[in-house]
Structure formats: C-alpha cells, structure tokens
Amino acid sequence: MRVAPLPAKERERLKVLHEYRILDTEHETDYDFITDLAATICNTCAAGIYFIDAHRQWFKSCNGFELGETVWCNKLAVHAIDTPEKILVVKDLSEDDWFNENPFLHKGTPLTYYAGAPLQSPEGAVIGVLCVFDTKTVNLSLEQKQKLLMLATQLMTILELRKTRSKLLQKQADIDMAYSDLENIAHLASHDLRTPLNNIISLAHLIQEEFGATIGESGKEYITYVNEASYYMSDLLSSIHSYSKASKLAVDVQERINCTELIDEMMSLLKVPANFTIERALLVNEITVPVLAVKQIMFHLLLNALQYNDKKEGRITIGISENDTSWIISITDNGEGIAGADIDKMYSLFRRLRNRDKNGENMGIGLAIVKRLAEKMHGTVSATSMTGSGSTFTVSIPK
C-alpha cells in the first residue's frame, strides 16, 4: 500500500483535535446513535466515526464491524483533511493501490465500499471522519450524501458541546478551589487575627492607665492612634466575617412567612429611636422566600435608613408587594439621600460614601451583602434617591 504524505499545517490540526479530549475515551451511546443513523440513511451494512491522530486513526464508534484503531498511513485520512468540503467515495478499496492493504479489507468480512464525510471544526481543521462501509458497491444518491454531511455537522455540534462542558467543569473546579481559599482567608481574618488584635487593644489601654503620667501628652496621643487603628481593624474583621456568613446563606429552600411578623422582628433587632416613624405599606399578608436571606437584606437596608438620616423627625416606609413573577420589598426613608454618581458605587464591598457613620461602625459592608444575597436568589436590587430628600431601595425576589 502506498503511504500518503502528511497534510499541510498538521501541527495546528493536531492541536485542535486534542482540545476536544476525545481520543481514547470510553464507549458512549451518543456516537453509536450517529453511526446507526448514518448506516440506515445510506443503506450500508456498517458505519464508523474515527479521529485522525498523529500516527493512527482511532475509532470512537463502530457499527457493523470491530476495529479499535488503524495505522495512519492511507489516503482516507489525507483526503478528508485536504478536501473537507467533499465526501470521499471509494467503490472498491481492493482495486486501488492506496487502499489494497487497508485493514478494512483483511479483518473478518471484508468491507470494500467506503464513503466518508469529514468532521471539520469551526477553525476549519478536519479532526476525523463520519463514514459508511459495505461489502458491495453502493450508489449513494445526492440526498444521501447531503444527509451524511448533515450528520457530520451535527456530530461536530456534539463535540463542541462536549468541549465547552469540559471547559466549564474545569472553570467550576477552579472557582471551587478559589472559593475554598477565600473561605480559609475569611476564617483566618475573622477568627485567628482577632486574638492578637484584642491583645493589642488591651495592652494599649493598660499602657495608658499605668504609664499615662510618664509618657506625657505625646505618648497618650500615640496610644490613641493605636487604639483607633485597632478598633478600625476590629470593625473590618467583623465585616469580613459578616459578609462571609451572608455569602454562605442557603437560598434554595423557601418558607412562608407573615409580613407583619417579619417587620416586627426587624424592629426589635434594630431598636428604632423614638424620633422615627415606621410606616407599613403591605399589599400582601404573606410571602414565600428564603427567609434568612430576606431578613438579612431587610436588616441592612433598615439599618442604613436609620444611620443616614439627618432629619429631626425620621420616617421610614416598609413596602411589601408582588407581581406575577416576584415578591417586591422596598425601604423608603427621608434621610440624607445619595448623589446620582454614587448610586452604582455603593454596592461595592468595603466601598464607603462617607469615612464613618455616626457610631463609627460603618465599613461599607451592608449594601454589598444586600446585593450579594439578591443575586444569589436570582433577584435584583435597585435604588432611587435625591440628595437631601431620602432614598428608596427596592429588592425583587423571583417567586
């Protein structure tokens, strides 16, 4: 048998082939369906799917014959690679000196007739062939040839989906690893670092109490700086812990909850000052939601409404309603408001529009938690505001 020369750009073609990770894989019925359909359409006794590696032709599916792989040495492979737009038809392999030593002719019942449709990637590289065989000469009609090409195209779609799925699984594995690393970092930040930080705070207080007269005013000022930095770090660690806990909240289980009871619980947690009026605009009596996540969202939105209110008489309206697809929770206040340019910035983690709030505890974590939980429930959060007149935050949660 004559040996066919290697095609042009063989290295690039092999790179594309190996990206599909199909060679030497286990048996899969999806590919058998294709070969069975090809044999039926073309009215042949056998069909196969093979991929053209560097030194072999490896069969993924064999319908009507058994042949795992053959040496890459014949024109069946070269023709497919060099003329991807055509079906190669060989009416009698035994009469052509390109094929007269082909293993198809010398294994069990000889398969002499061959027709193959190339498998061409989106990049234009031919990675294999969908072919049909028979022991006798077959005259394929134009319609049969067209359908064989269509099956080859469909087979490439399956391979593309396979490759995409493989990449997604790898990315998911990378994300899972990164998430695990972040969890470990969050645990370190919120737990392991807290003990030495508390020791620094205690030691600073001890120095100030026992050696205040000795260190003088400058020394006391330095101790004050140490205390402020330590408390700031403590607030930061608490915020990391809060965000980490919120990110891990389960949202796949929904529960029915009474809206009035939900708001009453929020009020007891927040200790609303006497100069605030809380109004309720409830258009539904109950909602079915991931309860813990919704409580977190309402807590942080209400806390912001209380903290950022510069009016002598504060007013907050809590609205709960629904539409055909979602539950809608809104928090409206008459506080300081937010400049339009800042609205998109305020959901970022640790992004603060002011240095500290009146209690010195704001680390820019509340709205980041709200957005994270809303997205985790496949919902949305939006805000409208006018500087000096107040804000409205609206969270939509799919039913």
pLDDT tens digits for 265-284?
999 888 888 899 999 999 99
Over 50: is that where the pLDDT of 106 sits? no
Give the lowest-confidence range in 103-107, 320-324, 371-375: 103-107
Question: Does residue 330 share a domain with residue 232?
Answer: no
Question: Does residue 312 share a domain with residue 234?
Answer: no
Task: Decide if 291 is inside a domain.
Answer: yes
The total number of structural domains in the chain stands at 3
Question: Does residue 329 share a domain with residue 234?
Answer: no
Over 70: is that where the pLDDT of 190 sits? no
Over 50: is that where the pLDDT of 48 sits? yes
pLDDT on residue 278? 93
Cα 104-105-109 angle, rounded to 5 deg: 90
pLDDT on residue 11? 87
Q: What is the DSSP letter of 315?
A: E
pLDDT on residue 146? 93
What percentage of the chain carries pLDDT values higher than 90? Answer: 37
Question: What integer is the mean pLDDT of 101-130?
Answer: 78
Cα-Cα-Cα-Cα dihedral sign, residues 40, 43, 44, 50: negative
Residue 209's alpha-carbon distances to 57, 204, 220, in angstroms, are 84, 9, 10
Over 70: is that where the pLDDT of 76 sits? no
Task: For residue 4, report the phi and psi dihedrals to the nearest 5 degrees.
Answer: -80, 145
> How many Cα neighbours within 13 Å face the side chain of 251?
21
Residue 104 neighbours by CB distance under 10 Å: 24
pLDDT on residue 363? 52
Question: How would residue 70 be classed by pLDDT, with cut points 50, 70 and 90?
Answer: low
Over 90: is that where the pLDDT of 318 sits? yes
The residue from 215, 247, 279 where one domain ends is 247
Over 70: is that where the pLDDT of 331 sits? yes
What mean pLDDT is reported for the chain? 82
Q: Which residues contact 270 (CB under 8 A, 6 or more apart)?
A: 299, 302, 303, 306
Question: Does residue 315 share a domain with residue 289?
Answer: yes
pLDDT on residue 118? 92
Task: Decide if 24 is inside a domain.
Answer: yes
Task: Decide if 144 is inside a domain.
Answer: yes
Question: What integer is the mean pLDDT of 285-307?
Answer: 91
Question: How would residue 140 be classed by pLDDT, with cut points 50, 70 and 90?
Answer: very high
Task: Decide if 80 is inside a domain.
Answer: yes
Question: Does residue 145 share a domain with residue 207?
Answer: no
Question: Does residue 261 share a domain with residue 230?
Answer: no
Question: Does residue 144 share a domain with residue 23?
Answer: yes
Q: Tokens 């998109």 map to which residue? A: 344
Contacts made by residues 53-60, CB under 8 angstroms, sequence distance 24+: 53/14, 53/17, 53/23, 54/10, 54/14, 58/23, 58/24, 60/22, 60/25, 60/28, 60/31, 60/128
* CATH number of the domain where residue 390 is located: 3.30.565.10
pLDDT on residue 337? 82
Task: Decide if 238 is inside a domain.
Answer: yes
Residue 17 neighbours by CB distance under 10 Å: 21
Task: Decide if 207 is inside a domain.
Answer: yes
Question: Does residue 321 share a domain with residue 201?
Answer: no
pLDDT tens readout for residues 192-238 = 777 787 888 888 888 888 887 788 888 888 888 887 887 777 766 77
Task: For residue 396, report the phi and psi dihedrals to the nearest 5 degrees.
Answer: -110, 125
DSSP strands (E only) in 239-294:
255-258, 276-282, 286-289
For the beta sheet containing 276-282, the strands, ordered from the edge strand earlier in sequence to the opposite edge, are 276-282, 314-322, 326-333, 390-398, 380-386
Q: Which residue has the higher pLDDT, 271 or 149?
A: 149
Question: Does residue 207 share a domain with residue 84?
Answer: no
Question: How would residue 239 be classed by pLDDT, with cut points 50, 70 and 90?
Answer: low
Q: Which residue has the higher pLDDT, 305 or 92?
A: 305
Q: Tell me the whole-structure pTM to 2 decimals.
A: 0.51
**Rounded Cα–Cα distance for residues 103 and 71 (Å):** 9
pLDDT on residue 63? 85
Task: Decide if 40 is inside a domain.
Answer: yes
On whether the CB atoms of residues 57 and 133 are closer than 8 A, the answer is no
3-class state of residue 1 by DSSP: coil
Over 70: is that where the pLDDT of 350 sits? no
The residue from 247, 277, 309 where one domain ends is 247
Question: Does residue 265 share a domain with residue 238?
Answer: no
Over 70: is that where the pLDDT of 249 sits? yes
Over 70: is that where the pLDDT of 29 sits? yes
- Environment class of residue 311 by beta-carbon count within 10 Å: exposed (0-12), middle (13-18) or buried (19+)? middle
Q: What tokens were used for 36?
A: 């069975």
The residue from 153, 168, 183 where one domain ends is 168
Question: Does residue 356 share a domain with residue 263?
Answer: yes
Task: Decide if 319 is inside a domain.
Answer: yes
pLDDT on residue 275? 92
DSSP strands (E only) in the chain:
46-52, 56-63, 69-71, 88-90, 113-120, 126-134, 255-258, 276-282, 286-289, 314-322, 326-333, 380-386, 390-398
On whether the CB atoms of residues 360 and 257 are closer than 8 A, the answer is no
- State which residues form the domain around 18: 10-168
On whether the CB atoms of residues 131 and 114 are closer than 8 A, the answer is yes
Over 70: is that where the pLDDT of 98 sits? no
Question: Does residue 356 share a domain with residue 311?
Answer: yes
Question: How would residue 360 be classed by pLDDT, with cut points 50, 70 and 90?
Answer: very low
